[in-house]
Structure 1
Amino acid sequence: MMICTPYITLRNGKRLFAHEKGLEAFCFEVTPEQHKKYMEKKAKEEEKKKKQDESEEKEE
């Protein structure tokens, strides 16, 4: 499975944009298992953020 993104984040925390290198996007190959693991992690982070936002709204 190919994943393409307009930027990558370097180890030092800076973002490198594809257009800076004359590309439309950075593309790389991942296995379906890696993709599934990433999507599960992202969903978990979004759920955590949603709960945090709800608790902040209740405090106001």
Structure 2
Amino acid sequence: MPYVNIKITEGATVEEKALLIKGVTELLVEVLDKDPALTHVIIDDVALTDWGVGGRSTAEIRKT
């Protein structure tokens, strides 16, 4: 039973998340021959202030 956890910054639409879930599931079926009924895909939205790169928050980076 594959378990995939995707962390993205907030702002993706319901439709975009559905496409991610579908695409990741299809990839696991195609590449690893996994059963799609047993494939779990979890998407975690992370606030821009809670995601940092290079010592700065993504919120700060996007302001510049």
Structure with higher Rg: it is 1
| TM-score strictly above 0.5 | no
More helix by share: 1
Superposition TM-score tier, normalisation by shorter sequence = 0.3 to 0.5
Q: Greater strand percent: which structure? A: 2
